[in-house]
Amino acid sequence: MRAFNFSAGPAMLPTEVIMQAQDEMLDWRGTGMSVMEMSHRGPEYTSIATEAEQDLRDLLNISDDYAVLFLQGGASSQFSMIPMNLLRGKSTVDYLNTGAWSQKAIAEAKRYAQVNVATDSTANRFTTIADQADWQLNSSAAYVHYTPNETIHGLEFAEIPDVGDVPLVADFSSTLLSRPLDVSRFALIYAGAQKNIGPAGLCLVIVRKDLLGQTLPGTPVMFDYKTHADNGSMYNTPATYSWYLSGLVFKWLKRNGGLEKMGEINARKASKLYQAIDGSDFYNNPIDPRYRSWMNIPFTLANSALDKQFLQMAADNGLLTLKGHRDLGGMRASIYNAMPEQGVDSLIAFMAEFERQYG
């Protein structure tokens, strides 16, 4: 029996996917090799890699104008690679600050460019996002960077910002593939895999090809997106097993109705959990209802002295990793694609029972 694991990442993977990987572990399709043991340049692995990329392109409807890269170094490396690659002779960049991950991206960008923070949710403790009319965007910025979903604070944009002709760059680490997305609105999308895509070790980058090839002087070859775009993400050895497993997740998504269907299920999962929190005086989520995350739902108990007991009893009931981020305390339920709706139902039932006993 598998537990319902609410970890923010690495997070749950679909059981079907793990079972398929188990099935193929020793001998991938009669080759006598595990995927882990294959040369990344051999025909077997090449077919796995190519199919995964095609499935991702199908799911997100990604046109040939974009390169799809399967990189290492995590989303955190993109915080540096983005300015190195996308400044293209300009010196200023716009960043939206809506939480802890925005802040990390901003701190890194400051090493390379003059950063204009066009809107800043620090003063409201990252519980809401100012209307776009109140942002201070700079039309000569090299790009606008934002974090569609803040994994720690649980603050999520309801719409893609309209930034005119300025290239839009987004850290989709904790929300890519959770619902349909119009990729054509973006210059660059990136996402660490370990939340809603696959195992850790892989970072997806989807980037408009026409923006490549103008890196800052001194950019390491491995930090140049063009290196990876020109070499099918095989300039060096990629994270072969994570790439393969992500490919299995893409197939699982396709079999299960694609991103439309995922979006429906995810909207329902999030909405019932928020309803349960809002319907009780014992639980609280501080985020402006217009900007509540579908994927990461932080909440507190009316009496934080009960936190430990809540976590222990939840774990005893097969509901794992509900402890909030160390910066915020309280609880956080991450409910990515692989969290079954039944897992959310079980959490809600447990919360009601806990409140009945201790509230």
147 forms part of the interface with ligand PMP (CB under 6 A): yes
Residue nearer to ligand PMP on the CB measure, 75 or 188: 75
Task: From 56-64, 68-76, 207-215, 314-322, give the range in contact with ligand PMP by CB under 6 A.
Answer: 68-76
Comparing every residue's Cβ against ligand PMP, the nearest one is 74
* Residue 305 labeled ligand binder: no
- Is 151 annotated in a binding site? The answer is yes
Q: Whose Cβ is closer to ligand PMP: residue 73's or residue 258's? A: 73
Q: What angle do CA 246, 39, 255 make, to 5 degrees?
A: 25
Alpha-helical regions (H) of the chain: 15-24, 43-60, 74-86, 100-109, 225-230, 240-255, 258-278, 307-316, 341-358
Rank residues 148 and 247 by Cβ distance to ligand PMP and give the closer one. 148
DSSP reduced 3-state for 201:
coil
81 vs 347, which CB is nearer to ligand PMP? Answer: 81
Write the CB contacts of 196 (distance below 8 Å, at least 6 apart in sequence).
11, 174, 175, 176, 177, 178, 295, 336, 337, 338
**Residue 40 token pair:** 């990344």
Torsion, Cα 71 74 75 79, to 10 degrees, reads: -90
Piece in contact with ligand PMP (CB under 6 A), picked from 22-30, 37-45, 50-58, 71-79: 71-79
Q: How far is the CB of 191 from ligand PMP (least distance, A)?
A: 8
Does 174 interact with ligand PMP (rule: CB under 6 A)?
yes
* Nearer to ligand PMP among residue 202 and residue 265 (C-beta): 202
Find the distance separating the first CA and the last CA of the chain, reported in whole Å: 30
Among 75, 81, 262, 333, indicate the residue that binds ligand PMP (CB under 6 A).
Answer: 75
d(CA 99, CA 49): 34
DSSP readout, 220-246?
-GGG-HHHHHHTTT-SS---HHHHHHH
Pairing assessment for the beta strands 92-97 and 114-120 based on DSSP bridges: parallel
Task: Determine, following the binding rule CB under 6 A, whether residue 119 of this chain makes contact with ligand PMP.
Answer: no
State the minimum distance, in angstroms, from the CB of residue 265 to ligand PMP: 21
Residues designated catalytic: 101, 171, 195
* Whole-Å CA distances, 179 to 202, 263, 295, 308, 357: 21, 4, 11, 34, 37
- The residue with tokens 């070790």 is 201
CA-nearest of 141, 163, 161, 146 to 88 is 141
Site for ligand PMP in 79-108 (CB under 6 A): 101
**In the complex, what is the shortest distance from the CB of residue 158 to ligand PMP, in angstroms, rounded to a whole number?**
17
Residue 49 or 191 with smaller CB distance to ligand PMP = 191
Residue among 220, 218, 188, 222 at smallest CA distance from 205: 188
232 binds ligand PMP (CB under 6 A): no
Q: What angle do CA 11, 149, 71 make, to 5 degrees?
A: 60
Total binding residues for ligand PMP by CB under 6 A?
Answer: 11
Binding status of residue 239 toward ligand PMP by CB under 6 A? no
75 annotated to bind ligand = yes
* 3-class SS of residue 292: strand
At a CB cut-off of 8 Å and minimum separation 6, what does 265 contact? 341
Name the segment binding ligand PMP (CB under 6 A); options: 49-57, 69-77, 88-96, 160-168.
69-77
Residues 8-27 touching ligand PMP, rule: CB under 6 A, are: 9
The response to whether 76 counts as a known ligand-binding position is yes
Closer to ligand PMP by Cβ: residue 117 or 313: 117
Among residues 97, 121, 173, 266, which is the contact residue for ligand PMP, using CB under 6 A? 173
Cis previous bond, 340, omega within 30: no
Min dist. Cβ of residue 334 to ligand PMP (A): 10
Interface ranges with ligand PMP (CB under 6 A): 9, 74-76, 101, 147, 151, 171, 173-174, 192
Going by the annotation, the residues of the binding site are 41, 75-76, 101, 151, 171, 194, 236-237
Going by the annotation, the residues of the binding site for L-glutamate are 41
